[in-house]
C-alpha cells in the first residue's frame, strides 16, 4: 500500500487529516513522567498504568514500524437559543460518543492494512498511547499552550485516533508551532489550571471535576463551575485558530436535544431515565450521580426562582451526593436573593 492510498482510505471513511510517524519513544515521555510525579493527574490513577507503553507504541505491538495518526473534525455551531439556564456541555459531548463512531472507522482501515500484509493495533482514546505527542510527530498538529493539539484548518475541534502497524510508510514532516506569543487560552482558563504553557494541572481543571471526579465537588470549585455541567471549552473557545473551524461532515456529532434542556429538567431523571436519555453519549461517563451533582452546582450559580421546586425535590434524592449539592444550591440561591433584597 502506498502513502497516497493510505490517505485516500482514511479520507474515504471520514477522517479529516492523516499523517505518519515512525514508531519510537514519545518526545515528551520524560515530561509525562514528571507530570505524573507531581500529582497533576489528580485521581485519574488509570493514567499511571502502562506508562512506558503509553510512551512507546512499539511496546504494544511487536514489530510495529509506523504509527498512522488520524484526526476527525467534530465542530458544530452552538444550537439556536442556548443559554445559561440550559447549562453548558462541552462541544465534543453533545452528539454521539466518538469512541463508538471512530472505532468503526478504524476497523475499516485495519481491514485494508491487513489485506496489504500488516498487523495493527488501533487506539481511540481508550488504550495506552500519548496520542497528541504522536499526532505532532506525524505532522497533523502542533502542541498548543493549552495542551490541546492544534491543526491550521480544524483548530482544536477534532478527535485524535491512531493505528500502529507493522507496515512501513514514509514519515511526514512536522508542522511548525504557530501559536507564537499568543496566550489567550491560558488567560481564558477560569481556574488557572494551565499552570504554564503546555502544562495543565487536572486538580484545577473544570473538565476533570465535572467528568472524571467521583463524589462531592470541593467547595472552592463550585462557584467557578458556573453553568458548566459536563466539561469546559473556555480555553478552546479562546483560541484564534478556531475562527477557521467548519462544521463537521459527520452527522453523528450533531448536538442531540438531550444536550440542551433546561437544567431543572435533568433533576427529574432516575437511573433508568438517565441511561435512556444519554444512551450512546459521552455524558454517561459522569454517571447519573456526577451529572446531577453538576446540574445542582450549576443551578446554585445561575438558577432562578423557577428552579427551586426541582432543587427541593433533588434535596431528597436517594443519592446523597446529589442531595447534598441540591441543598448547597438552595442555600446559594437564598444567599444571593438576600444580598440583592430580592425574594421569590
Determine if residue 154 is left, alpha or beta; phi over 0 gives left, psi from -120 to 50 gives alpha, anything else beta.
alpha
Beta bridge partner(s), residue 123: 162
Cα separation, 189 vs 209, in Å, equals 14
End-to-end CA distance of the chain: 69
CA 153, distance to chain mean position in Å, is 19
Q: Are 160 and 138 spatial neighbours (Cβ–Cβ below 8 Å)?
A: no
Instruction: Inform me whether the pLDDT recorded for 132 exceeds 90.
Output: yes
Show which residues are catalytic: 125
> Where are the domains positioned within the chain?
3-165, 191-231+261-337
- 8: cell is 485516500
Instruction: Inform me whether the pLDDT recorded for 236 exceeds 60.
Output: yes
What lies within 8 Å, CB to CB, of 159 at 6+ separation is 71, 72, 74, 92, 98, 102, 124, 125
Instruction: Inform me whether the pLDDT recorded for 341 exceeds 80.
Output: no
3-12 and 98-115 helices, crossing angle to 10° = 150
Per-residue confidence (pLDDT) for residue 342, from 0 to 100: 59
DSSP calls for 244-300: G----S-GGGSPPGGGGS-HHHHTT--HHHHHHHTTTSGGGGGHHHHHHHHHHHHHH
Q: Are 232 and 182 spatial neighbours (Cβ–Cβ below 8 Å)?
A: no
- Reported as a pLDDT band with limits 50, 70 and 90, residue 337 is confident
- Condensed to tens digits (0 to 9), the pLDDT of residues 174-197 reads 999 999 999 999 999 999 999 999
- Condensed to tens digits (0 to 9), the pLDDT of residues 69-117 reads 999 999 998 876 666 667 999 999 999 999 999 999 999 999 999 999 9
Phi, psi of 182 (to 5 degrees): -65, 135
pTM for this structure? Answer: 0.94
Name the average pLDDT for the chain.
95
Per-residue confidence (pLDDT) for residue 75, from 0 to 100: 96
Instruction: Inform me whether the pLDDT recorded for 344 exceeds 60.
Output: no
Query: At 69, which helix (H) or strand (E)?
Result: strand 66-73
Locus of grid cell 465534543: 92
Q: What is the 8-class DSSP label of residue 88?
A: E
Q: Are 206 and 220 spatial neighbours (Cβ–Cβ below 8 Å)?
A: no
What angle (nearest 5°) sits at the alpha carbon of residue 137, between those of residues 93 and 243? 45
Q: What is the 8-class DSSP label of residue 151?
A: B
Cα separation, 313 vs 276, in Å, equals 21
C-beta neighbour count of 24 within 10 angstroms: 15
Per-residue confidence (pLDDT) for residue 336, from 0 to 100: 79
Asked whether the CA dihedral 129, 133, 136, 137 is positive or negative, the reply is negative
Amino acid at each position: 500500500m502506498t502513502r497516497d492510498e493510505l490517505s485516500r482510505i482514511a479520507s474515504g471513511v471520514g477522517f479529516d487529516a492523516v499523517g505518519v510517524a515512525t514508531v519510537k519513544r514519545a518526545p515528551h515521555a520524560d515530561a509525562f513522567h514528571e507530570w505524573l510525579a507531581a500529582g497533576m493527574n489528580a485521581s485519574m490513577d488509570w493514567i499511571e498504568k502502562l506508562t512506558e507503553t503509553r510512551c512507546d507504541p512499539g511496546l504494544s505491538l511487536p514489530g510495529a514500524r509506523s504509527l498512522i495518526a488520524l484526526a476527525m473534525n467534530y465542530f458544530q455551531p452552538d444550537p439556536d437559543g442556548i443559554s445559561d439556564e440550559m447549562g453548558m456541555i462541552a462541544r465534543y459531548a453533545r452528539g454521539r460518543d466518538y469512541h463508538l463512531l471512530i472505532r468503526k472507522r478504524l476497523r475499516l482501515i485495519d481491514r485494508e492494512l491487513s489485506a496489504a500484509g500488516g498487523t495493527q493495533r488501533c487506539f481511540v482514546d481508550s488504550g495506552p498511547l500519548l496520542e497528541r505527542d504522536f499526532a505532532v510527530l506525524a505532522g497533523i498538529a502542533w502542541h498548543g499552550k493549552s495542551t490541546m493539539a492544534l491543526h491550521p484548518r480544524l483548530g482544536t475541534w477534532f478527535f485524535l485516533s491512531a493505528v500502529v502497524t507493522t507496515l512501513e510508510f514514509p514519515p511526514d514532516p512536522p508542522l511548525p508551532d504557530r501559536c507564537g506569543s499568543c496566550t489567550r487560552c491560558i488567560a481564558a482558563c477560569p481556574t488557572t489550571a494551565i499552570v504554564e504553557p503546555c502544562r495543565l494541572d487536572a486538580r484545577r481543571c473544570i473538565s476533570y471535576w465535572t467528568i472524571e471526579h467521583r463524589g462531592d465537588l470541593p467547595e472552592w470549585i463550585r462557584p467557578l463551575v458556573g453553568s458548566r455541567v459536563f466539561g469546559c471549552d473556555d480555553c478552546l473557545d479562546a483560541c484564534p485558530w478556531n475562527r477557521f473551524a467548519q462544521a463537521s461532515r459527520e452527522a453523528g456529532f450533531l448536538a442531540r436535544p438531550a444536550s440542551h434542556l433546561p437544567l431543572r429538567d435533568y433533576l427529574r431523571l432516575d437511573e433508568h431515565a438517565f441511561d435512556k436519555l444519554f444512551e450512546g453519549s459521552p455524558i454517561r461517563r459522569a454517571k447519573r450521580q456526577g451529572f446531577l451533582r453538576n446540574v445542582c452546582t450549576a443551578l446554585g450559580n445561575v438558577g432562578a426562582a423557577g428552579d427551586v421546586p426541582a432543587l427541593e425535590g433533588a434535596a431528597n434524592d436517594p443519592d446523597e451526593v446529589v442531595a447534598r449539592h441540591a441543598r448547597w444550591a438552595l442555600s446559594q440561591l437564598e444567599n444571593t436573593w438576600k444580598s440583592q433584597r430580592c425574594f421569590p
